[in-house]
Amino acid sequence: MTDAVVSGNAEPVAPARMSPRDLVAEAIAGIFARPGRTVLTVLGTVLGIGALVATLGVAKTAGNQIVGRFDELAATSVLVTNEQGFFGGGGDVRVEIPVDAETRILRLNGVTAAGSMGPVDVGGALVRSVPIPDPLAQTEFQMSVYGASPGLLGAVRGELTTGRWFDSGHSERADRVAILGTGAAQRLNVTRVAQQPVVFIGDEAFVVIGILDSVRRQPELLNAVIVPEGTARDVYGYTSASTVQIDVEIGAASLIAEQAPIALSPDEPSLLRVQKPPEPADLRRDVESDINALFLVLGGVSLLVGAIGIANVTLVSVLERVGEIGLRRALGAARRHVAGQFLLESTAMGLVGGIIGASIGVLLVVAISAVRTWTPVLDPWVPLAAPLVGALTGLVAGLYPALRAAAMEPVEALRSG
Amino acid sequence: MTLDAPVVELRDVSRTFAAGDVSVPALADASLSVLRGEYVAVVGPSGSGKSTMLNVLGLLDRPTEGSYLFEGIDTSSLNEGQRAGLRSRRMGFVFQSFHVLAHRSVVENVLLSTIYSGMPRNDRVAAAKAALLRVGLGHRMDFLPTKLSGGERQRVAIARALVTRPAILLADEPTGNLDSATGAGVLELFDELRAEGLTLVVVTHDSEVSGHADRAIRLRDGRIEVAL
């Protein structure tokens, strides 16, 4: 009789089913069964994701900020020199910077000021302010002497304590006038120019017409005696400036850096060396990658710790819920239902950690920016991707515990639970 | 599947456990058939193979030899998913230690077995409440199990086993963790369920329990000694 029944049983037995909605509901119930523990578990991911988001945001913000700061001085300076580098080749092939360098450069669109300068070879002559030998103090000094064009003061953004800078008339007439850098003036004991003090370079007398207080570029000028280029040519056979300092408008640096050598030396522009500020975009990238490299490692480590935390707690929870697993299997849950539930629980914890972490990270970026009066900048994909990274962390962390849970034999599980 | 076919039928079933090189037979050449509406007690000392038999009957374990037919279906031809499916729809389990989830309310515990059985969502709560009313826990539906007595927890477990309207109820020492008064209450409930036509197999070493059954099977060292 029973044989007939077996063969008559044509329709196959349906396997156990669990709707996705039930799976989600069970996972959520599992998470909220022990809220305190869930909070602590999620904390690891919160810290990891928060650190990552804050890092990316602060890096981006700081990158923007540093560029803004650099713009002011460095981004407006272009420097052309005729000095050869170590690998200049050809020995002493030097292009002379023309006498009218300043005028040539000022013709370029985007230049706000330009001036040429170069060291003057005074043949080792010492500089002194009075020809009277004083046995108690040093009165003669070895000092750099620079030839400079009238526009240099503006190009280096210099300021005078007193007196005036020379003009093209001084240079053309080769007047014996000089400007003292503030350091040089101190050593030579010159503080005022109203009475036309005189300094001697060797035996040559120069009337001091101004004292340079500060410069924003070419700080070596502050310890030097500066004479007009025409005067240097006349007295010391100064042939060519070595440097042309150009002050440009913001954004014009790259263009001027290209044009200036051609303007100065149309036949051999490649022999001149140009120093220009780094492109803002490059600079920002550099700063970002510097900060990122450091802190992303930190964020990654915290995320790893968070993942281990989730894995650990999920595993503990699996071992603790052995009885429940056995019960569910007895009630008809297939292995994949059990695995799915634990995997979903750990993924959900990772997701929640990611969402909270991303929020904290964004708030942190805003807070740091507020304290520093920076403009907070954040790539929009960062807060969007962060919860996904958190969920992924939870998923990976939950894999092993979920497989452990699924591998349990219901009989064993029921007995030990 | 004819109605008068046995709900469960064991044919020369053996279950041997391998412990290292030695194989220990927990169940040997057991043959048994339980008809629809029967109340069968499985008795015997501990280690006699009672639980192994119940696990085989509940599709929680596979026999090493012999065949097991459940409602006329040869279960050896089924895969794990299909066996889980049969468990969820056609079988109810009651355990000695209740296995009631402490963090879920009474009604949620009963609902647990409906999610694997494919019962339509809209019918579930009504079925769970009906099952709880049936076991006399209508006033405890939203309680947490931690607030319940042992006897009430076992009634929750019975309601959970009944809610899917199974073909058979398999109980493993259902009164083992209860004092005699509450245990008697559970046995009374089993009597009522049997009177309503439910098929029951109860594993016990309590002679009180076997006294309620239509017949008892005594196991010793894995063999059916007497079919009382």
Digit-coded pLDDT (tens) for A213-237? 998 888 899 999 999 999 999 999 8
CB contact under 8 A, A323 and B99: yes
Of residues A362, A395, A364, the one with CA closest to residue A379: A362
Task: Tell me the per-residue pLDDT of B75-91, one tens digit each, with 9 for 90 and over.
Answer: 999 998 899 999 999 99
Q: Scanning every residue of chain A, which has its alpha carbon at the shortest distance from the alpha carbon of B157? A: A327
Q: Give the containing element (helix H, strand E) for A230.
A: helix A229-236
Q: Give the containing element (helix H, strand E) for B198.
A: none
Q: Which long-range contacts (CB under 8 A, 24 or more apart) does A100-109 make?
A: A101/A149, A101/A241, A101/A244, A101/A264, A102/A149, A102/A150, A102/A151, A102/A244, A104/A263, A104/A264, A105/A244, A105/A246, A105/A260, A105/A263, A105/A264, A106/A151, A107/A263, A108/A256, A108/A259, A108/A260, A108/A263, A109/A252
C-alpha separations of A77 from A8, A36, A217, A345, B91 in Å: 95, 60, 9, 59, 86
The reported pLDDT for the residue numbered A69 is 57
CB contact under 8 A, A18 and B89: no
The reported pLDDT for the residue numbered A11 is 66
Cα B81–B48–B9 angle (5° rounding)?
A: 45
The reported pLDDT for the residue numbered A4 is 37
Task: Tell me the per-residue pLDDT of B17-30, one tens digit each, with 9 for 90 and over.
Answer: 888 888 888 999 99
The reported pLDDT for the residue numbered A61 is 84
DSSP labels, B123-163: HHHHHHHHHHHHTT-GGGTTS-GGGS-HHHHHHHHHHHHHT
Among positive and negative, which fits the CA dihedral A161, A164, A167, A170? negative
**Which of B70, B73, B79, B88 to mutate to probe the A interface, most A CBs <10 Å?**
B88
CB contact under 8 A, A334 and B84: yes
Question: Angle, nearest 10°, between helix axes A280-320 and A322-330?
Answer: 70
Q: Chain B: nearest CA to A321, how far in angstroms?
A: 10
Task: Tell me the per-residue pLDDT of B129-156, one tens digit each, with 9 for 90 and over.
Answer: 999 999 999 999 999 999 999 999 999 9
Report, as ranges of residue numbers, the positions in chain A whose pLDDT lies below 50: 1-10, 88-90
Picking from A9, A34, A328, the nearest residue to B72 by CB comes out as: A9
Q: Chain A: nearest CA to B85, how far in angstroms?
A: 4
The reported pLDDT for the residue numbered A136 is 77
Q: Any bridge partners for residue A207, and if so which?
A: A177, A198
The reported pLDDT for the residue numbered A85 is 56
What domains lie within chain B, and their CATH numbers?
A: 37-63+78-227 (3.40.50.300)
B82 vs A contacts (CB less than 8 Å): 12-16
Answer with the residue of higher pLDDT: B160 or B225.
Answer: B160
The reported pLDDT for the residue numbered A280 is 66
What pTM value is reported for the model? 0.67
Side-chain half-sphere of A156: how many Cα atoms within 13 Å? 25
CA–CA separation, A15 and A45 (whole Å): 37
**Which of A28, A331, A341, A409 to mutate to probe the B interface, most B CBs <10 Å?**
A331
CA–CA separation, A307 and A310 (whole Å): 5
CB contact under 8 A, B6 and A2: yes
CB contact under 8 A, B84 and A14: no
B4 pLDDT tier (thresholds 50, 70, 90): low
Q: Scanning every residue of chain B, which has its alpha carbon at the shortest distance from the alpha carbon of A21? A: B115
Helix spans in A16-84 (H): 20-33, 35-73
Return all residues near A384 (Cβ < 8 A) that are at least 6 apart: none
Task: Tell me the per-residue pLDDT of B178-209, one tens digit each, with 9 for 90 and over.
Answer: 998 999 999 999 999 999 999 999 999 888 88
Burial-class residue B216 by CB neighbours within 10 Å (0-12, 13-18, 19+).
buried
CB contact under 8 A, B87 and A330: yes
CB pairs < 8 Å spanning A and B: 112
Q: How far is CA B123 from the centre of its chain?
A: 24
CB contact under 8 A, A331 and B116: yes
CB contact under 8 A, A331 and B79: no
The reported pLDDT for the residue numbered A300 is 82
